[in-house]
Structure 1
Amino acid sequence: MHLTMPTSVVEGTQLTVMPFRDDAVVGTMAVPTLVQLVPSPRAEEDPRKLKAASGLVRRHAELRATVQRTLKSSQKGKNVGPYAEYIAAGLKGELGAAWSTPPITLWHAGPLAALSEELVPGTGLRTLTVAPGTMVVAIDGETQTTAWHDLYDDPEAYGLTYSQLAQVRIPFELYVDLAPADARQIFYDRNVQGVAVAKNLAMSMDQRDFGTRLAHLVADSVRIDVDGQRVPFARLVNVSKRQLSAGDREVVTLSALRALVVTTLYGRGGLARSAESVHEDELPAGARPEQVEAAVVPILGDLIVRHAREFAERGAITAPAVLAGLGIAVHPTMPWSDSGAVFRMDDLLRLLDGIRWEREAKYWDGVAAKTGSSGRLNFSGGVKDSGGRVADAILYPATEAGRQIRDL
């Protein structure tokens, strides 16, 4: 007996939508559909849950981290509970008609599995299919997405039932097959006018910003050894936080790497630009974008490789103020520098060779960090506050700070 194999049928989640541009659609979906398509952002930030999660969920978490800020310990995260209660009150009729939730902005990372012809000619309505395993990320409306997850995980806690939630339609807009850089740009554009995002974090999401683009190019240009494995440095750069926590797998933030790039470009003047946009028409006199890229990317990439161990161990070199100071020290080697002195890369490398990069008070207290009452060394000082002191310590070994960071 021979069974006839089925013909090719596209499987997945079907949504009725209306395109509003050639790579984006709008529509509504049910709550169960949302929680199935978009994993819980809170769960993706829980190291224990993520360790036990499937490879698909872990890959989704990595992709989400490239275009979203974190929920944990942020105002956005604190708003999830009240938002869920607000939605529940609205669904139960307690708020009358005076309540609403904005459309959630989703990013479909990759092409669609299928898109139908118009369901009714002239209406624009179509059916699209999201294939199983496709990465769908909320790039705006993530607080609301997390609130829907909370409601669906335990509706009784909010005075609701699954049947009530199943009747709800959630409006959404879906951007299809965008590059990660474009998705980050949408995050920036939506949030810079909305709930306040830390300014340097917002800059690190702005793909129109020349400093941000250079920082990504630097991160993408090199690989370093971590625990015996050679990994792209970009995987060790956190794009969604201002400061790293102990449980993060990354070793440096994108905003800190951007500070290194900007001070390399402008020298000490770059300290004031660490939280400001850098446009191509504002580059140092006589410098063209392609010239800047050709000079900055290989030099900073080489420095990262030379100090790969210090980066992998999260040494002092990963602190934003230290990277900013390092950029000031690199600046005189740039062809557009007006420092007046002949300063070659070999000169800089000799200055860097003797520096102690361990995060210890005897090297960095008072230079890039402060020792608190508990005795713990804190590197949270800002780029503007400490970047100049770090640069002086690097460039002038005979000074008190210069001797301190070299343990002389």
Structure 2
Amino acid sequence: MCPVSRLVSTAWDSDMVQINLPDPPIAEGVVVFGASISDTEFQGAMPHGLFKTVVPDPRNLEGNATKYHTDLSEVAELRLRVNRLVTGAKKKNVLPYANYMIRMVKSGEGFTPQIVLWSQKRLRVEKDPGTGLAWLLIPHGMKFIALDGDTQTTARHLAEARESGLFEGQKVKIVIVHDIPEDVAQQIFADCNSRGTKVVTSMAIGFDNRDPATQLAKYVERHVPALHGRVNRQKRQLSARDIQDVVTMSALRASVVCFVEGISGIQHQTQAVEIDDSRLDVLQVASACWYSDVTTVLNGALTPEERETNFASAPAVWCALGALGHDVLERAIGKDFSGEWNEDKFKRASQEIALNFLAIIDWQRGVHWTKVGAKKSQSGAVTLGGPKEVGSLIYKALRDRALATGLNFNAA
């Protein structure tokens, strides 16, 4: 076919840009438009309908499922040599990823990274030399393997099954590497999964503005004077150099999760948390009140000058504080929000518990903290473990006043 000249008006002036591309042979396959990065790499966007056709569900390429998809046996064999199975943590991530994409399409908010697809065969690519704009031809019946983005690929197929038709009209960002041998494909998989540094989950979710628990933690930060502008979003634990901050966002969010769910929230403090919209207003008022009372009775223990000598800003302590606040919430409104909300009643209970059960605590790093799992080294230094390790012990100690003296706390 003869090249076809296309004249495209630019957005920045009245000049015309000439693009020379031949008409694609649509009888031979399906065309994807994008940009030619190199002789073996093409970048573009693929309609969802095409994607689910040319990139098989990875779950159908492994285990017993292969018996029912014999037409994919060649692709399945090849995939086993260049990618890992959908098992373990990867498998657990598929459903949350699928749910995320469903919410993304429905709400119009969200982001998914590009998926790297591989073909051993050389594919036809035609490129305009002046702009780099190009098209790539996918022959009929061809299947790709995802070298990077295999979890997203699996989740897309699951999301399609759960919400059939929802993704029609949606585009999938893709990179296609072609005309490269298996060992090079293996190296791309290795590079994609080893060269980057994974962000700590607790930090990443602290930036997730769609997560209800993160939103509630940020509400607490804004409405509690002692925390306003003093919550660190970059670290998991504060050091002596953090002279402006009093707690980390990951610790505050984990505490808020325990405030919402009770001490059981400590087991999934870094996971997305669902909060019923009907409860949000009450939780905002109650959490701001509780954390204001907490920071008041800590009597300066949160200040950077005191941090090195006490455990008041420790993440495990903050989970316990959140869980104790949940007990106060249940006292005021009942379990599962079964009672009638009374703001004054909650405020009285919050002040009472904060004064009687927190103001008496000795937050200094002493041997009394060994009662809740703290470790004392040969040098005499006392260190405290993380939330999952000692958070429940600290919570029980606060309720029982085991770090001080007095009567047991009964929140029922």
TM-score range for the pair, normalised by the shorter chain length: 0.3 to 0.5
Q: TM-score, normalised by structure 2?
A: 0.44
Q: TM-score, normalised by structure 1?
A: 0.44
| Structure number with larger C-alpha Rg | 2
